[in-house]
Amino acid sequence: MIQTIQNSGAVQSLLVRYRLAIYILGLFAISAPIVLDRFGISVSSEIRTVIVLASLFVMVLTYVAERQSFERADEEPTRKQNYSRQARTAIAFALIGVAIGGYVWFTIDPVTGLLFVLGALLFVRIAYAGSIR
């Protein structure tokens, strides 16, 4: 049990250390099938779905690890953000919505994707407004 906790701390540290690379590689992995399709190389929709879900899963894990790491760090009070857990959760879901909306925009239907992105942005705006009160 203790070794599992230590291993999870090591994984969390690794995710936080390489967070920028993880986010960039995740966006690259999500957009790669779209780019390949433009060059005539077909990628099945099942594989695209797996790539998107796996990329989003790793990106969300990285975000959660990053937030937990920064909450534990001794930062200056002026730099620490005081958003509630609900606001941070809503923002994480809104970011996932933006990513899915972008994927829908480029692969299925631009209008539906745009509506999805706008809805996610509205959701994040509501989350920020609720955290200010």
Output the pLDDT for position 90: 77
* Positive/negative CA dihedral, 65, 93, 55, 29: negative
Q: Is the pLDDT of residue 15 over 80?
A: yes
pLDDT digit string, tens, across residues 30-43: 888 888 888 888 88
Average pLDDT taken over every residue of the chain: 77
**Residue 82 and residue 90: Cα distance in Å, rounded?**
14
* pTM given for the model: 0.54
In the predicted model, is pLDDT for residue 77 greater than 70? no
On whether the CB atoms of residues 92 and 63 are closer than 8 A, the answer is yes
pLDDT digit string, tens, across residues 87-132: 777 777 777 888 888 778 877 888 888 888 888 888 777 776 765 5
Q: What is the mean pLDDT of residues 61-77?
A: 70
Q: For position 84, what pLDDT does the model report?
A: 72
CA distance 33 to 60: 21
pLDDT of the residue at 78: 47
In eight-state DSSP terms, residue 45 is H
In our burial notation (b when 16+ CB lie closer than 10 A, e otherwise), range 45-79 reads eeebeebbeebbebbbebbebbbebeeeeeeeeee
